[in-house]
Chains A and B, each alone.
Chain A
């Protein structure tokens, strides 16, 4: 039974990362918005959900940071409210950040979004009244209290997100997004607002990242700012690029290959020396894989399908 439990753990993590990957596909694959701030929106979703659902008081925290009389702003709402709040908050934060950022050229956007994610990380680390800083939030309830049932919930949400992403590919708004990706001048000459198209894509992707954050908080049952560092962002980028940018099936495959086998699957190999050695070796392998894939197979394992004209009529 232990092996089954491991597989369940890995499968849940892979499913949550797949949601992040699909959101990145909306940003970068559909609309050519290189979002390097995934960890930031992931964190917004996770914290929004955790703060709304965590229990009001527990002794450990009171001792830790002098929060006598219960933690500030813990509401003990049910999971579904946490999930909706995570989506809404991530969308709002994404919208506010998008106002200045989406006016930038792609490479400037990439750098600025790393900065935004770092700023959110520092905010979570330092605003003790809201997030309790580096101690993080613990005792977040897992809905249904059962890991098997929770895995089914995660799979359901993954299926919904997958359907939404596939649908957006062919929907009118998705066609505008892809038009923006291919050529901004032609798209705007057809009367489409580039900024609005980019903003819709950005907000939809950020909302999906927020949903993934909420699932992560409820799955891990404890979150702390140290989880939302640029490494998380880079892992998502790497599996999206390896699996096949712009193809949702490729992204699922990439998540299974990189996150499932590489990141989580090697967790049970015997440790070499200090505890940081194995993760570092894994990350080196993943980084080299990214470089090799872009060098020799830039379209990823499963490339984007050539679109048929009749499908759009």
Chain B
């Protein structure tokens, strides 16, 4: 049980912030962006560039990495997604385009760094017992940062002007525009926050393991699983979903088989989509009839 708690918390720390960022992006821009997985990879590699190539300390390179990732996200939004959103194409087209954009980002990283895995140059630390947990200093730092940043984002959404603008835009874009909110600026700020969170998540993955150019797509589907389990319209739900998915994955790894932990996340996602499509913290009631009446044909 103790190792489940430690590993579960660590996996949670890597998933929670990207899930929160993607949740904000989907909530505000109203389409599923599949480039996000590769933005996570880009964040990790931009930090790696500062950390390994230029030899800067980890915290400074992390901040620079987050800034550059945010710039990358805004660049992609301005050049690719904004023109299409202006044409009012349907969300599925934007999804396919984001796939192409992700393809480009991933292969640019592949050209820059090659297919082999990388690790950050951080001092090694000895693990110690803290209550039931068995963690190194780096890992404690990661878990605490994750919780602090998540709480910070929630406070921002609740109490600041930007948070109010984002909530208003996601609620009703037309009305917000009529009331004088510049939607484009809200989009840009959302992308900045989302990409900074993505970079943090990517760096945490790198600190706990290794990073490589192709990691984005697998991580992306796991993050979507977190969002769907928690409720795709609810930032609290994203973090809650990350907690559930993280513990489900680590329990599978401990008691069933490590390679199948990703499959456990997908399975949980599909069950939740059937039983309660709005997610555990979403509004609707549980729809047992869908779950039980598998073969009944749908009357929409």
Contacts and interface: CB of A to CB of B under 8 A. Distances in A.
A221 interface: no
Contact of B107 (A34, A99, A107, A287): A287
A230 interface: yes
B300 A185 contact: yes
A111 interface: yes
Interface string B67-100: 0000000000000100110000101110111011
B96 A126 contact: no
A100 B221 contact: no
A295 interface: yes
B92 A112 contact: no
Interface in A180-212: 184-185, 188, 193-196
A150 B75 CA distance: 48
Interface stretch (A12-20, A44-52, A274-282): A274-282
A100 B291 CA distance: 9
A234 B102 CA distance: 10
Between A99, A106, A107, A237, the greatest number of chain B beta carbons within 10 A of the residue's beta carbon is seen for A107
Interface stretch (A55-63, A69-77, A113-121, A303-311): A113-121
The interface residues of chain A, by DSSP majority, are classed as helix
A234 B115 contact: no
B297 A196 contact: yes
A103 B95 contact: no
A125 B300 CA distance: 39
B107 A280 contact: yes
A284 to B, nearest CB: 5
Contact of A110 (B95, B257, B260, B300): B95
Contact of B108 (A274, A284, A291): A284
Interface stretch (B45-53, B152-160, B270-278): B270-278
Between A101, A119, A279, the greatest number of chain B beta carbons within 10 A of the residue's beta carbon is seen for A119
Between B101, B106, B259, B298, the greatest number of chain A beta carbons within 10 A of the residue's beta carbon is seen for B298
Interface string B100-134: 11111011101100110000000000000000000
Interface residues of A, number: 51
- Which of the four size classes fits the interface of chain B? 35 or more
B228 interface: yes
Contact of A195 (B89, B110, B297): B297
Contact of B259 (A114, A125, A281): A125
B204 interface: no
B224 interface: yes
B300 A114 contact: no
A276 B110 contact: yes
A104 B273 contact: yes
B83 A295 contact: yes
A116 B100 CA distance: 20
A274 to B, nearest CB: 6
Interface string A210-236: 000000000000000000001000100
Given A280-B111, A284-B104, A287-B103, A122 B263 contact: yes
Contacts of B108: 280, 284
A103 B270 CA distance: 11
B37 to A, nearest CB: 10
A111 B221 contact: yes
Contact of B299 (A188, A230, A281): A188
B295 A291 contact: no
Interface in A63-112: 99-101, 103-104, 106-108, 110-112
B172 to A, nearest CB: 20
Contact of A103 (B31, B34, B84, B298): B298
A194 B31 contact: no
A107 B31 contact: yes
Interface in B1-51: 31-32, 34
Interface in B249-266: 257, 259-260, 262-263, 266
B141 interface: no
A294 B270 contact: no
A290 B100 contact: yes
Contacts of B114: 274, 276
B269 interface: yes
Contact of A34 (B95, B115, B262, B270): B95
A288 interface: yes
Closest 10 pairs between A and B when the two form their complex, measured CB to CB: A287-B103, A290-B100, A195-B298, A115-B266, A287-B104, A280-B107, A193-B297, A283-B107, A126-B259, A287-B100
Interface of B: 31-32, 34, 80, 83-84, 89, 91-93, 95-97, 99-104, 106-108, 110-111, 114-115, 217-218, 220-221, 224-225, 228, 257, 259-260, 262-263, 266-267, 269-270, 273-274, 277, 290, 294-295, 297-300
5 contacts: A115-B270, A123-B263, A234-B103, A287-B104, A294-B100
